Amino acid sequence: MTETRSAFLVWLGLLVLLAISAGTSRLDLGWANPAINLAIAGAKSLLILIVFMHLRRKSTLADMAAGAIVLWLAIMYTLVGADYLTR
Amino acid sequence: MAPATESIAFGSPARELEADQFGMWVFIASEALLFGAVVLAYLVSRWHFTAAFAAGSKELSFWLGTVNTAVLLTSSLTVALAAIGVEKGEGPRRVRLLLLASVALGAAFLAIKFTEYHEEFSRGLVPLFGLPFRYSGPDIHGGALFFDFYFLLTGLHVVHLTAGMIAIGGIAALWTRTPAAGRRRRTTAIALYWHFVDIVWVFLYPLLYLVNR
């Protein structure tokens, strides 16, 4: 599959995911609404990161920088969450 | 003699390209922590004012937000196609057109965003700069906090998007005077930045527009 074709397929996939999150947000699914929204935002980001930003393909340096983002955000969110969610 | 690099710091164009990409990734990491911190503050506030944030979110334009998400995702496609084109050594005119199309899509996003801002301003939903705040939701205090975060997060995103448009526009403007290796490095680096700004919006859209709709 050519790179151009996969770029168009990812774009279509992103629009389908957008339609799913917009569509499900019109239904009242209780706790599932934010869970679906978060899962779809995560899936969209992975598509963009892996295909458009070439993560896991080009260089170990880029993977390390992306890994550092996840690590530092995880530390910040875990520590703040541990405080606010257990008060 | 080895092929020319733009900076004397690098032994080969491949090393220079690698350094450029890594530099952009480090910059993106610092940007991700900036947005991550504000989003974390938003989440903590939403945890405290759940009903007020849901009511505030309903005041935003669901359709304009959704259309704008599609516009931005499409701009990521044109930037990605430009990066693919420049890597494959496709016609420079085509790549330049794709870059200009991305700037145009960015401008469309801004036009829609400012239409929303104008509507929110005329309805008195801007609790900033001492403007009249006429929100009549269930919890005025929590509602004001929601709109504070809405304008802070989308405003920060608008600033980043505008910077990206200026950078892409600049690359396109200097296109004919830039050697091929320079075009490639600039296009791939700015593409990374643009995709990152897109990812930020991918999270802002459900966080701001889809709170318990």
CB contact under 8 A, A59 and B81: no
Contact residues, chain B, for A44 at CB < 8 Å:
73, 199, 202
Q: How far is CA B18 from the centre of its chain?
A: 24
Q: Which chain B residues are closer than 8 Å to A15 by Cβ?
A: 70, 73
CB A76 to CB B73 under 8 A?
A: no
Q: Are B21 and A61 in contact (CB under 8 A)?
A: yes
Q: Considering the entire predicted model, what is its pTM?
A: 0.92
Phi-psi region of A54 (alpha: psi -120 to 50; beta: other; left: phi over 0): left
Digit-coded pLDDT (tens) for A46-73: 999 988 888 867 678 888 989 999 999 9
Q: Mean per-residue pLDDT for B22-36?
A: 95
Q: Quick one: pLDDT band at residue B213, thresholds 50, 70, 90?
A: low
B66 closest CB neighbour out of A18, A40, A52: A18
Q: What is the CA radius of gyration of chain B?
A: 20
Tens-digit pLDDT profile for residues B48-91: 998 899 888 988 999 999 999 999 999 999 999 999 999 888 88
Is the Cβ–Cβ distance between B128 and B117 less than 8 Å?
Answer: no
The b-or-e profile of A28-45 (16+ CB within 10 A means b, else e) is eeeeebbebbeebbebbb
Q: Are B73 and A15 in contact (CB under 8 A)?
A: yes
Contacts of A34 in chain B (CB under 8 A): 206, 211-212
